[in-house]
Structure 1
Amino acid sequence: MLTEKQVVELLETIYDPFLKKTFKETGAIQEVKINKEKGLVSVKIALAKTGTAEQLQVQQTVVQRLKDAGASSVGLRFAQLPFEEERTTNEPIYLAIASGKGGVGKSTVSVNLAVSLARLGKKVGLIDADIYGFSVPDMMGITERPVVRGEKIIPVERFGVKVISMGFFVEDNSPVIWRGPMLGKMLKNFFDEVEWGELDYLLLDLPPGTGDVALDVHTMLPTSKEIIVTTPHPTAAFVAARAGAMAVRTNHEVVGVIENMSYFESKTTGEKEYIFGKGGGQKLAEELQTDLLGQLPLGQPDWNDEDFAPSIYGEDHPIGKVYMDIAKKIIAKLR
């Protein structure tokens, strides 16, 4: 028959689904009683939230572990963790990067904004939530894959940013041919099955538009903030307004608008050419009643063959400096 110590050891590695911490870390196992005659193990467990579908999943895990270890029957009671424990957990700021259409540089903005926040000393994670059009690993020059430790996936770290992407789980750039419900399940796994550790910011590079993944993010992360990326062209800004309107209707705060490809500046003359027009970002920001966080010119990052990351701008690069200014504005705005 199991002892109390063995029961605790069996259960202490289970994660609280809301706090993303083990039972050992949260002190969740509050009581263990053993009835040797009946083979009954009774356990009282405290979770951050009770009466949820996640609690049912925890219940099934606990019962299965104890029965596999020899318990004939299991009695299980749940309680809620004290407010102090829930309050002191380091919940990151969720920041979704969205756009109304593809091709406006949303993923480029996502990776450089994540790197800029990390350069400012923040603990940053990045989810490549564009399941069909994943590109973050290639943009950041990531060649390694995540590893599995226990029941958790350990994200790959690059430039101080922890990264997870669908691109890590397909071979040879194979296409992902899934229907909508599968996308939501994969996105949920990126939250639940990845060991993010302590983060200040968790950025999500969303697919363009207002489809299934964007809707799932709005449902899973009701406190998520959003940044809308557009180009200065009136049509791009018009389409991007739909993504912003979706955020507003689902009570997500739009932190601001970033205008990408604002102009091309000649290295010879310093003259600016507004190839895609002017004013789209400012107009969109006014329409969404938010700030224009920055205007990013066209320009190529400086490539380093020894440490290749084709889309990451150096901290001293003119465009890299714009990203740093945008990151500082975001930190100040969300403080």
Structure 2
Amino acid sequence: MSIEKIKQALTTVKYPGFSRDIVSFGIVRSVNFENGKASVSIAISSSDASIPTAIRDSVEQALKPIAEIKDLDVSIVLTGNKKAEASTANDGIPGVKYIVAVSSGKGGVGKSTFAVNLACAFSQILEKEGKKTGIMDCDIYGPSVPLMLGISGRPYVEGDSLIPMEGHNLSVMSMGFLVDEDTPVVWRGPMVMKTIQQFSQNVKWGELELLVVDLPPGTGDAQLSLVQTIPLSGAVIVTTPQAVSTTVAKRGARMLEKTNVRILGVAENMSYLEGPDGSRQNIFGEGGGQKTADDLGTELLGQIPLDQSIREGGDAGKPIVLSDPDSTAAQSFHAIAQSLLSKIRI
């Protein structure tokens, strides 16, 4: 009997809580078959004690109907930092102390704009301590961080590693540096997962106090690959006030919670339009960010106004945190960054 037949059967086993199977998820380390005995080795990083048992039971059920298998050995190996939830330090990427993911679940809420300005705010705060910040753009299909930071070119290769690009005192890595501007990235899941693994394992980030990770929208390959590859210090959920955004944001947060990622808080983007007289117009509704935070059992970190200058800064490669540090928006980003630092450094 071929090992491929066993692997095919394993594709029917779903990772608990997800629709994705354990083979494409990349947690099946080895499959062997000899003299009627099948051996399957699986590596997971979850600290949820119920998941290894659930996977083992499902694997046994999937392989039981195969008549050629007379004996079965399923080994589950726990990898990564089991104390990730309680620890503030992050040893997933050499030299990087803390890693904060920015997630939204839904596209169109300004998540990348938020991530770039948040990274700039972190950089300004940490620079005073003599420490460095970086940003990893994991939106493989629509990388926008290079444009928003005004950085172009190709990263240098040193041995088997890439050297991140530099801009605004940030170390930056993005798929946008590796493909031509007009070239679409037409990849299936495994290629996306491999790229994100390389961004974390084959990039010489150097000594960083904090790395911001801009996740793509959704709850698919990129998110799963990231949380399987490195233990995050936590994640920020970005939403706009309206229900169509908050509903999807909560779904994305639940996905992160299932993989034991700490939700640090919710940020409400495009929260309000401020008039010349200081009055506020709630263009996209009101209270969505607070309700999302309440439903997730976390806090509302802050509200970012709907400001034309934020968009102009992103298009020009000059984030508003740098171009207009005294603006209401820039001050909001700084307050959120300071709050997050306090949380992850506890």
> TM-score if structure 2 supplies the norm length?
0.68
Cα distance, 1:180 vs structure 2: 0.3
**Alignment map for 1:1-335 (pairs within 5 Å):** 90-121=95-126, 122-267=131-276, 269-301=277-309, 308-314=316-322, 315-335=325-345
- 1:277-322 residue CA offsets vs partner (Å, 9 max, x unmatched): 0011000101111111110001133768xx9415443322221111
TM superposition shift of 1:162 = 0.5
Give 1:170 shift: 0.7
Deviation of the 1:234 alpha carbon: 1.5
Code of the aligned partner of 1:231 = T
Q: Which amino acid aligns with 2:317?
A: A
Letter in 2 for 1:108: T
Superposed displacement of residue 91, structure 1: 4.0
* Cα deviation, residue 182, structure 1: 0.1
Q: Is the 8 A contact 1:139 1:312 kept in 2?
A: no
Find the aligned partners of 2:266 and 2:291 in 1 and give their Cα distance. 10
* Aligned 8 A contact 2:215 2:223 in 1: yes
Code of the residue aligned with 1:283 in structure 2: it is K
Indicate if the aligned counterparts of 1:98 and 1:207 stay in contact, CA closer than 8 A: yes
Identity in percent: 46
Q: Residues of 2 paired with 1:318 and 1:188: CA distance?
A: 37
Instruction: Report the aligned-residue RMSD.
Output: 2.1
C-alpha contact 1:112 1:313 (8 A) present in aligned 2: yes
CA contact (8 A) 1:117 1:324 kept: yes
CA–CA separation in structure 1 for the residues paired with 2:117 and 2:144: 13
Unaligned runs of 5+ in 1: 1-51, 53-85
Any unmatched runs of 5+ in structure 2? 1-42, 44-90
- Aligned-pair CA distance for 1:90: 4.4
Aligned mates of 1:106, 1:155 — CA distance in 2 = 22
Equivalent residue for 1:76?
Answer: none
Partners of 2:148 and 2:316 within 8 A in 1: no
Query: Counterpart of 2:235 in 1: which secondary structure?
Result: strand
One-letter amino acid of the counterpart of residue 104, structure 1: V
CA contact (8 A) 1:301 1:313 kept: no
Alpha-carbon offset, residue 249 of structure 1:
1.3
Amino acid at match of 1:144: G
Give the count of matched residue pairs: 247
Separation in structure 1 between the aligned mates of residue 232 and residue 319 of structure 2, nearest angstrom: 29
**SS of residue in 2 equivalent to 1:176:** coil
On the 8 A contact 1:167/1:173 being kept in 2, the answer is no
TM-score (norm 1): 0.70
> Relative to structure 1, is the Cα distance of residues 142 and 263 closer, same or farther in structure 2, using a 3 angstrom cutoff?
same
- Do the aligned partners of 1:237 and 1:284 also contact (CA within 8 Å) in 2? yes
Looking at structure 2, the residues matched to 318 and 97 of structure 1 have their Cα atoms a distance apart, in angstroms, of 21
Structure with max Cα Rg? 1
